[in-house]
């Protein structure tokens, strides 16, 4: 049975006890509305730790004023039922008032890595993410934390925070889980109309095309980006926010994929903003 706990001091006590008993503790931070992508992270965590904490918290500080905080899907009972099946030990589901004091004043800002891509499009987003993840790390004290490569910039931000603040937590990035037709799973996919859902397939197709270009020897970032843009612009419902090729750790733009690069994009379909990415790793030999 998964234990569901809202009180952070109780979570701290339970996790301390586990660690003292020599049990390895893993944390999987989520905002709930769980799908197979999230569950893959929990399975991964359960494979490397004896006690797996899944946090479910729609973190208000990572949403902009005109974003979807209010209507973000929430289904704690359904989430807990799913988590029973994948080896979670404890669900930490705090409410916003217990996570943020009315006069909360301390923020974690990860410079540079947070600047481009989603950081440029969503000012303050990564400050909210880094701050809440730092708080979760301080409450749970995990040995390992598992994040999805779906949010590749988030992985880079968290890795940098852990390194810079000497947190000593192992960060694992798990592969993107996709629907059978290629769309990257996301809690926000439920916002898409049937037409938008169909058109959104252009994203994974464009990423596949980029990977094929790499396989046939193309390494120029501009050439690859131009092709990806052309493909996505072929969809009348797609509104491109960015298509970038960057270094996966620094998120700084690169001109070639020769040393490996991250192709990341954000595209709106109606009011729904989707992100997706692929690591462009040159084939050996």
**Residue of 220, 264, 210 whose CA lies nearest to 242:** 264
Q: Applying CB under 6 A, which part among 30-38, 212-220, 239-247, 261-269 lies near ligand AMP?
A: 30-38
Instruction: Name which position in 8, 38, 127, 160 contacts ligand AMP (CB under 6 A).
Output: 38
Q: Applying CB under 6 A, which part among 76-84, 110-118, 181-189, 237-245 lies near ligand AMP?
A: 181-189
Residues annotated as part of the active site: 38
Take residue 152 and report the two structure tokens written for it.
């590749």
Take residue 281 and report the two structure tokens written for it.
């790793």
CB of 118 to ligand AMP, least distance (A): 12
157 near ligand AMP, judged by CB under 6 A: no
Rounded to 10 degrees, what is the CA torsion of 81, 128, 114, 264?
Answer: 30
CB of 206 to ligand AMP, least distance (A): 17
**Residue with the two structure tokens 């208000």:** 60
Residues 91 and 76: their CA atoms lie apart, in Å, by: 10
Take residue 188 and report the two structure tokens written for it.
């926000």
How crowded is residue 212: how many other Cβ atoms within 10 Å of its Cβ? 11
41 near ligand AMP, judged by CB under 6 A: yes
Measured in whole angstroms, the distance separating CA 212 from the mean position of its chain's CA atoms is: 25
Q: Which is nearer to ligand AMP, 181 or 233 (CB)?
A: 181
Q: Which of residues 209-268 bind ligand AMP (CB under 6 A)?
A: none
Size of the site for ligand AMP (CB under 6 A): 17
Q: Which is nearer to ligand AMP, 125 or 225 (CB)?
A: 125
B/e letters for 58-95, b = 16+ CB within 10 Å, e = fewer, are bbebbbeeeeebeebeeeeeebbebbeebbbbbbbbbe
37 near ligand AMP, judged by CB under 6 A: yes
Rounded to 10 degrees, what is the CA torsion of 109, 112, 115, 119?
Answer: -50
147 near ligand AMP, judged by CB under 6 A: yes
Residues 243 and 262: their CA atoms lie apart, in Å, by: 10
116 near ligand AMP, judged by CB under 6 A: no
Q: Which is nearer to ligand AMP, 221 or 266 (CB)?
A: 266
CB of 226 to ligand AMP, least distance (A): 27
Instruction: Name which position in 88, 110, 185, 203 contacts ligand AMP (CB under 6 A).
Output: 185
**Residue of 44, 80, 76 whose CA lies nearest to 177:** 44
Q: Applying CB under 6 A, which part among 98-106, 170-178, 220-228, 267-275 lies near ligand AMP?
A: 170-178
Instruction: Name which position in 99, 113, 139, 176 contacts ligand AMP (CB under 6 A).
Output: 176
153 near ligand AMP, judged by CB under 6 A: no
**Residue of 81, 89, 94 whose CA lies nearest to 3:** 89
Instruction: Name which position in 18, 44, 150, 225 contacts ligand AMP (CB under 6 A).
Output: 150
159 near ligand AMP, judged by CB under 6 A: no
Take residue 89 and report the two structure tokens written for it.
């030990």
Name the site residues for ligand AMP (rule: CB under 6 A). 30-31, 37-38, 40-41, 147-148, 150-151, 174, 176-177, 184-187
């Amino acid at each position: 049975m998964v234990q569901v706990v809202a009180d952070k001091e109780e979570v701290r006590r339970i996790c301390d006890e586990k660690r003292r008993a020599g049990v390895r503790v893993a944390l999987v931070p989520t905002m709930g509305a769980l799908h197979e992508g999230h569950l893959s992270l929990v399975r991964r965590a359960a494979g490397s730790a004896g006690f797996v904490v899944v946090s479910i918290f729609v973190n208000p500080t990572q949403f902009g004023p005109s974003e979807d905080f209010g209507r973000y899907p929430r289904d704690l009972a359904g989430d807990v039922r799913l988590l029973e099946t994948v080896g979670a030990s404890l669900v930490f589901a705090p409410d916003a008032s217990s996570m943020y004091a009315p006069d909360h004043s301390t923020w974690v800002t990860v410079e540079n890595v947070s600047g481009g891509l989603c950081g440029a499009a969503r000012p303050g987003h990564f400050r909210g993410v880094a701050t809440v993840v730092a708080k979760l790390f301080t409450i749970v004290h995990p040995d390992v934390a598992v994040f999805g490569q779906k949010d590749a910039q988030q992985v880079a931000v968290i890795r940098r925070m852990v390194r810079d603040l000497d947190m000593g937590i192992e960060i694992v990035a798990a592969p993107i889980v996709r629907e059978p037709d290629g769309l990257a799973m996301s809690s926000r996919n439920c916002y898409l109309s049937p037409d938008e859902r169909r058109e959104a397939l252009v994203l994974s197709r464009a990423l596949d095309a980029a990977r094929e270009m790499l396989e046939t020897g193309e390494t120029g970032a501009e050439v690859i980006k131009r092709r990806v843009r052309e493909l996505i612009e072929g969809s009348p419902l797609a509104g491109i926010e960015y298509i970038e090729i960057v270094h996966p750790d620094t998120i700084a733009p690169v001109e070639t994929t020769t040393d490996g690069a991250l192709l990341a994009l954000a595209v709106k379909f109606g009011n729904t903003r989707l992100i997706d990415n692929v690591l462009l790793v040159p084939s050996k030999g």
